[in-house]
Amino acid sequence: MVNVSRKVQELRGKLALVRTGGEAIALVPTMGALHEGHLSLVRLAKARCPRVVVSIFINPAQFGPGEDLSRYPRDEAKDLAKLAGAGCDFVWAPTVADVYPEGFATRIEAGGAAEGLESDFRPDHFGGVATVCCKLFGVVQPSIAVFGEKDYQQLCVIRRMVRDLNLPLDIVAGPTVREPDGLAMSSRNAYLSPKERRIAPALHAAIQSLAAAISRDIRDEAALIDRLRADTERRLIADGFARVDYVAVRDAETLAPIEPNSRRSLRVLAAAWLGGTRLIDNVAVPRPARADGS
């Protein structure tokens, strides 16, 4: 059985005892509706630290008007059973009023990697994510916090925030866990109709092909990359996606647009709508094999 806390003071009291015993704490922030992707992060956390805290909180501050806040899937009993088997020690499942009590008035403004991509479509999203993560870090005071590469821009934003604000923890990334057909696991996949579910893996397939094509030898040809990117968007529409918000090739660390002749790592990121469901995914651009074999 995992140990569940609702109130900040309750969790703080339990974690103070852990710290007195000298044990390091890892935090895995989630919004619940847990799947194998989340559980892989819990296992990663447990491999690094003796004590793991998982937060389950659907953060209203990161949802825009008209987004899926009210229908976001919730099943705490199932979540707790899954966490018990994955090595989680403590769950923090606060209410909205616990996290944002009367008079709450502070918000982190996320810049850098937060600019563009998701922010072009969800302008207040990363401010809400950064604020709640800052708060989670303050309450739990973990040695590490584990985030999934599935939400790659979020990972970059949190890394930047931790560096910029000298927050005393390390950010650890876990790889994206996928269904056997390549679809990235996501709580939002539950919204897909059977027909949409059959189309959904086309997003991963399309960005994988784009990443492979870029890695072959055209990393520096901006115009060609842009043409391939546009081809990928058209391919997604042909596959049955209703709309493509973006397919982008960016610097893997800063998410800045790519510079010609740079040898920096690249990432392909995409967001597209399948019916009324918005899917996001990303993949690394493999480093091209060098002619000298190095």
Q: Which residues bind ligand AMP (CB under 6 A)?
A: 30-31, 37-38, 40-41, 147-148, 150-151, 174, 176-177, 184-187
Residue nearer to ligand AMP on the CB measure, 94 or 213: 94
Residue nearer to ligand AMP on the CB measure, 171 or 213: 171
Write out the E strands in the chain: 3-5, 25-30, 51-56, 90-92, 144-148, 170-174, 243-251, 266-274, 277-284
Measured CA to CA, the distance from residue 4 to residue 9 in angstroms comes to 13
Residue nearer to ligand AMP on the CB measure, 182 or 222: 182
Measured CA to CA, the distance from residue 145 to residue 260 in angstroms comes to 34
- Closest approach, Cβ 58 to ligand AMP, in A, equals 9
Q: Which residues face 278 on adjacent strands? A: 273
- Closest approach, Cβ 21 to ligand AMP, in A, equals 27
Kindly report the backbone phi and psi dihedral angles of residue 184, in degrees, each rounded to the nearest multiple of 5, phi listed first: -65, 130
Catalytic residue (choose from 35, 38, 125, 204): 38
Residue nearer to ligand AMP on the CB measure, 32 or 219: 32
- Closest approach, Cβ 176 to ligand AMP, in A, equals 4
- Closest approach, Cβ 221 to ligand AMP, in A, equals 31
Residue nearer to ligand AMP on the CB measure, 187 or 232: 187
Which residues contact residue 199 at a Cβ distance below 8 angstroms, ignoring those fewer than 6 apart?
239, 240, 241, 274
Known active-site residue 38: yes
- Closest approach, Cβ 116 to ligand AMP, in A, equals 19
Query: CA 52, 174, 179, 122: dihedral to nearest 10 degrees?
Result: 100
Compute CA distances 182 → 28, 274, 276, whole Å.
Answer: 24, 16, 21
The amino acid sitting at 25 is: I
- Active site members: 38
